[in-house]
Structure formats: structure tokens, C-alpha cells
């Protein structure tokens, strides 16, 4: 579920990046005869803020997606494939796995901290943009600049909703598993009185 939400957030962020870039290009290259702002070039600070939000989300989403979901799956696959025949290779993978799990972005609370920052930035951007340009389709939908603003506001809210869903699902996962300081990939099981182990480590023990 979280992996799908990160993909959706990335898509919405790319669209928002294009819309905010188009708006900034338009307002900073106004024709002298353009009725907007008497033809004087300018830029909207909140549009720049949304541009930053989209860039941060574009970088954050694949980073967390790879570190949290793809690398553990690849490690589990390689462990099962090479353990019996290539013990040395498995040992190297296991060492990398152990180092990676305790780096920044590897723990659940790291992910939640990043999501909280994104959540606040997206909320501010969407709320301020909505207050500046409310009900645009009702009176200026015939203009391309107005349609760009309408789409920009819509995707800013869609992005915020997606980040909210990510925060909620991650909080539910962390609360249900008491895993605030555990690796964010979620490949963890409890076995008796043993410390929490990853599926990767568990497989190697019982192989």
C-alpha cells in the first residue's frame, strides 16, 4: 500500500512541477500588452513554494521507495538464490544490509519525519493557493493561464491528500508493530524471545 502511494505521489509531483513551472514562466515573461499586472512581469511566491514542494517530493518518493521496498526485496531474493552455493557473496550482502538498516532514512521514524515536513509544506501551499485563486473555473476557464492555475491548485490538494495517506498508513504500521525505531521496510518478524530479525536474517539462520 505504501509503495503504491509513493508512486502516486511521485506522479502528482511531476504534474505539479510542470504546472508551477508553466505559471512561473508565464508571469515572468509577460507581454507588455497583457492585462495581467499591467504587463509587468512578476512571480507568485506561493507558486514558487509549490514548485519546491513538488521537487522535494520527486526526490523523496523514489529515495524512500528504493531504500524501503526495493533493496530489501532484492536482498531477500539474492539471499535465497545464492546462500547455499555462494556463501561469501551472501556474507557481503548481509554486511551491506546491516549497515544500510541503521543509516538515515532506514528507520520508521526517519520516514515519518520526512513525511511530516512534506505534509506541512504541501498543506501551506495548497491552502494559500486556494485562498488566492478560489472558484477560478466559474469565471475564467476560457483562458489558458486560468486553467493552469486551476489544475495547479487541484494537484496541490491531491498531493497533500496522498502525503496524508502515507502519514496515516505509516503511523498505523509503526503503532501496530511497535516499530518506531525499526527498519522502515517492514520485513521483520518476532520469534520467541529472540530480538526482532529481518526476513533476510531469519532465512539465513534456518537455511
Cα–Cα distance, 174 to 204 (Å, whole number): 25
pLDDT range class, residue 131, cuts 50, 70, 90: very high
Tell me the pLDDT tens digit for each residue of 45-65. Answer: 999 999 999 999 999 998 887
- The per-residue pLDDT for 102 is 44
Residue 28 — very low, low, confident or very high, per pLDDT cuts 50/70/90?
very high
Closest CA to 188 of 176, 175, 201: 201
Higher pLDDT, residue 69 or 39: 39
Segment 189-199 mean pLDDT? 43
Position of cell 523523496? 60
Residue tagged 546462500 (cell numbers): 83
| Winning range, highest mean pLDDT, from 10-14, 41-45, 82-86, 101-105 | 10-14
Average pLDDT, the chain: 77
Phi, psi torsion values for 197, nearest 5 degrees: -125, 150
Look at residue 132 and tell me whether its pLDDT is greater than 90.
yes
Compare 20 and 76 and report the one with higher pLDDT: 20
- pLDDT for position 60: 92
Q: Average of pLDDT values for 97-126?
A: 77
How confident is the model over 65-74, as pLDDT tens digits? 777 666 555 5
Longest dimension (CA), the chain: 76
The pLDDT tens digits for 139-192 are 888 889 999 999 999 999 999 999 999 999 988 887 877 666 555 555 444 444
Compute the average pLDDT of residues 75-96: 50
For residues 68 and 42, give the distance between their C-alpha atoms in angstroms, rounded to a whole number. 41
Which residues contact residue 102 at a Cβ distance below 8 angstroms, ignoring those fewer than 6 apart?
none
Residue 5: name the closest of 76, 60, 75 by CA.
60
- Tell me: pLDDT of 207 over 50: no
Predicted local distance difference test score (pLDDT) of residue 187:
47
User: What is the chain's alpha carbon radius of gyration, rounded to the nearest angstrom?
Assistant: 23
With bands split at pLDDT 50, 70 and 90, how would you rate the model's confidence at 34? confident
Helices 2-27, 45-65: crossing angle, 10 deg rounding: 150
Amino acid at each position: 500500500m505504501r509503495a503504491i502511494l509513493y508512486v502516486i505521489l511521485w506522479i502528482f509531483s511531476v504534474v505539479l512541477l510542470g504546472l508551477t513551472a508553466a505559471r512561473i514562466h508565464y508571469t515572468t515573461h509577460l507581454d507588455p500588452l497583457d492585462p495581467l499586472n499591467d504587463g509587468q512581469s512578476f512571480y507568485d511566491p506561493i507558486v514558487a513554494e509549490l514548485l519546491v514542494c513538488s521537487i522535494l517530493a520527486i526526490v523523496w518518493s523514489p529515495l524512500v521507495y528504493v531504500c524501503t521496498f526495493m533493496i530489501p526485496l532484492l536482498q531477500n531474493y539474492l539471499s535465497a538464490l545464492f546462500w547455499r552455493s555462494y556463501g561469501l557473496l551472501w556474507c557481503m550482502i548481509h554486511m551491506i544490509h546491516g549497515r544500510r538498516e541503521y543509516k538515515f532514512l532506514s528507520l520508521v521514524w526517519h520516514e515519518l519525519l520526512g513525511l511530516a515536513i512534506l505534509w506541512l509544506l504541501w498543506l501551506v501551499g495548497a491552502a494559500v493557493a486556494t485562498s488566492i485563486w478560489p472558484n477560478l473555473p466559474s469565471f475564467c476557464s476560457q483562458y489558458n493561464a486560468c486553467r493552469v492555475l486551476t489544475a495547479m491548485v487541484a494537484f496541490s490538494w491531491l498531493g497533500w491528500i496522498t502525503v496524508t495517506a502515507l502519514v496515516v498508513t505509516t503511523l498505523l504500521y509503526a503503532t501496530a508493530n511497535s516499530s518506531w525505531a525499526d527498519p522502515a521496510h517492514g520485513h521483520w518478524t518476532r520469534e520467541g524471545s529472540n530480538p526482532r530479525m529481518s526476513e533476510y536474517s531469519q532465512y539465513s539462520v534456518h537455511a
